[in-house]
Amino acid sequence: MYNTIAFGDFGAAIILLTLIIRLFLSPLSIKTFRSQKALSELQPKVKEIQSKFKNDSQQQTKQIMDLYRQHNVNPFSGCLPLIIQLPILIALYKVSIAGFGGDSLSVLYSFIEHPVSLNLISLGFIDLAERSIPLALIAGVGQFLQTKLSLSSSKNQILQKDQKANPLTSMNQQMLYFLPVITIIVSMSFPAGLPLYWIATTIFSIFEQTYINRIKSKYGESNRTTDLTDR
């Protein structure tokens, strides 16, 4: 991509790579969002189980997992897209620490044209070989906005008001602040190519989540209209 459609801009190549990866993962991401919505809708039943078996944590856990199983819901599905992206992050990390000199370019596949050198100044001002505090902060803010957006559906808000002590709600609130902090710390520890990838994937996720929320909103409105008509 650097040699062709990125026009010799390594940052643009990273952004294009991110777009391709996220488009490939979109079906899985949509499934994850739907699973999270199903988890929210099951929270009243989860609360009933917690109240019923409040003195028996083992039976409580078993009943909750049985509930999830009956509705084909995986409470850990939200981690799957991130896990799949980990090899990409590791690869970018390896590339970053290996450098971008002639020696590292010599290990490219034989069917890829070896550029004489790489232009590491992306978009005219970002040095991808150096650490970038501004990019790290942007990555953290983007992660905060993405996490907040994923938790801000009207259905979820109603549930959160009624279940302030619910463990899932508490965990979500912790992740809202924990993930951005971790993102900033990690991004500040590596060359700018890594946070640039994270920013690009976060922006894609924000647009993806907005699109899905809009579809869910229209679908919900359609269902409410149908219910009123039936009545």
For the stretch 8-32, pLDDT in tens is 888 888 889 888 888 888 887 777 7
- pLDDT at position 153: 55
Token readout for 8 is: 């010799």
Token pair for 95: 């590339």
pLDDT digits (tens, 9 = 90+) for 103-162: 667 777 778 777 766 777 887 788 887 888 999 999 999 989 888 877 765 444 444 445
Average pLDDT over residues 208-227: 60
Domain locations along the chain: 10-223
More confident residue, 77 or 19: 19
118-124 contacts: CB < 8 A, separation 24 or more? 118/2, 118/10, 119/8, 119/9, 119/10, 120/10, 122/9, 122/10, 122/11, 122/12, 122/14, 122/192, 122/196, 123/9, 123/11, 123/12
pTM beyond 0.85, yes or no:
no
Which pLDDT score is estimated for 138? 94
Average pLDDT rounded to a whole number, residues 77-106: 70
Lowest mean pLDDT among 60-74, 95-109, 118-132, 184-198: 95-109
Mean pLDDT, range 66-89, rounded to an integer: 75
